[in-house]
Amino acid sequence: MKKRKAGAARVGHDKPKVQHAIADKKKRGEWVELKFMAQAAERGLPACKPFGDSENFDVVVGRPGKFVGVQVKCTVFRSKNGEGYLCSVCSSHNIYRPGAFDFLAAYVVPEDVWFILPAKEIMGMRSVSLCTPTSRYEKYREGWELLREAVGMEEEAATGGEAEQEPERGVPRNALERMQASMNFVKRHLER
């Protein structure tokens, strides 16, 4: 099987082109997860990395009661026709099962652009084409607001502060309460 090389950048695009220097696929994956978390933090989205890598999501965004699992991918590979970039949306050639994660965050390295795709848009697929003029995924370019909505941060902005908490849960006040709230979230997730 021939390996594809990263193609030349599109002409006339305003953003500076980002060169990728991380050849090792695993290290590049770790790098893009950190990059995603930094971008989320810059946008006021709480993000954390789960311990281990046995889940199908790489990062958790949100707070207790409103978490979403995000699978993070990146690509440097131009499509064969030269239009756009091909991004794998499977794991070791295996298609993700429904419910494996809530969003896919795909970073197109040469274009320095993120696509925040709802999982339902890519389930059952092995790859997607991004940064093409006719791509059905263009509407998800820099779609960070989808994550904000999913974790309830849009309602915070509308009310001018903290979103209303469910009365029985309340806001965790200390590390022990945060840990308990996280464990309750995992328990509910596993019971689905």
Considering the domain boundaries, does residue 10 fall inside one? no
Q: What confidence score (pLDDT) does residue 3 get?
A: 44
Q: What confidence score (pLDDT) does residue 6 get?
A: 44
Considering the domain boundaries, does residue 135 fall inside one? yes
Q: What confidence score (pLDDT) does residue 164 get?
A: 43
Q: What confidence score (pLDDT) does residue 134 get?
A: 81
The total number of structural domains that make up the chain: 1
Query: Model confidence over 14-59: pLDDT tens digits?
Result: 454 555 567 888 888 899 999 999 999 999 999 999 887 777 788 9
Classify the C-alpha dihedral 27-19-111-144 as positive or negative.
positive
Report the alpha-carbon distance of residue 25 to residue 179 in Å, rounded.
33
Question: Phi and psi for 182 in degrees, rounded to 5?
Answer: -65, -45
Q: What ranges make up the beta strands (E) of the chain?
A: 47-48, 59-63, 66-75, 85-88, 90-91, 94-95, 103-108, 113-118, 127-130
Radius of gyration of the CA atoms of the chain, in A: 18
Considering the domain boundaries, does residue 111 fall inside one? yes
Considering the domain boundaries, does residue 40 fall inside one? yes
User: Nearest Cα to 90, choosing from 123, 113, 115, 117?
Assistant: 123
Instruction: Locate 73 and state its tokens.
Output: 């991918």
Considering the domain boundaries, does residue 19 fall inside one? no
Instruction: Locate 94 and state its tokens.
Output: 């295996």
Considering the domain boundaries, does residue 13 fall inside one? no
Show the low-confidence residues of the chain (pLDDT under 50): 1-14, 16, 162-168
Considering the domain boundaries, does residue 61 fall inside one? yes
Report the alpha-carbon distance of residue 100 to residue 98 in Å, rounded.
6
Give the domain extent around 64. Answer: 25-191
Q: Which residues contact 144 (CB under 8 A, 6 or more apart)?
A: 39, 40, 43, 45, 114, 116
CATH number of the domain within which 156 lies:
3.40.1350.10
Considering the domain boundaries, does residue 33 fall inside one? yes
pTM value > 0.85: no
Q: What confidence score (pLDDT) does residue 56 get?
A: 78
